[in-house]
Amino acid sequence: MPRTLINLEPEDKHWIDREARRRHVPMTELVRQAVHLFRIRTESLAQHDLQAILAQTTGIRRGHDGLEHQKRLREEWDARF
């Protein structure tokens, strides 16, 4: 496992030391757990955001032929350029 050096505000360092003692785990283990949980939550939120966007945009061209729409756009671009 790679070692990492971090700087903490004094209040945060005191808190994490107290919390580690309370949980009966090394301070480094508490930091590992916190980083892991933060990563999982961040990745989960990003995935949730993507799912929400997909849900909101699903079917916005319902009743239309997507390929025909693309062809019209390309013809329009070709005419301009």
Report the distance separating Cα 8 and Cα 15, nearest Å: 10
Q: How far is 60 from 57, CA to CA, in rounded Å?
A: 6
The model's pTM is 0.55
Distances (CA, A) of 28 to 8, 12, 16, 22, 32: 13, 14, 9, 14, 6
Question: pLDDT tens string for the chain (81 positions)?
Answer: 899 999 999 999 999 999 999 999 999 999 999 999 999 988 887 777 887 888 887 777 777 778 888 898 899 888 887
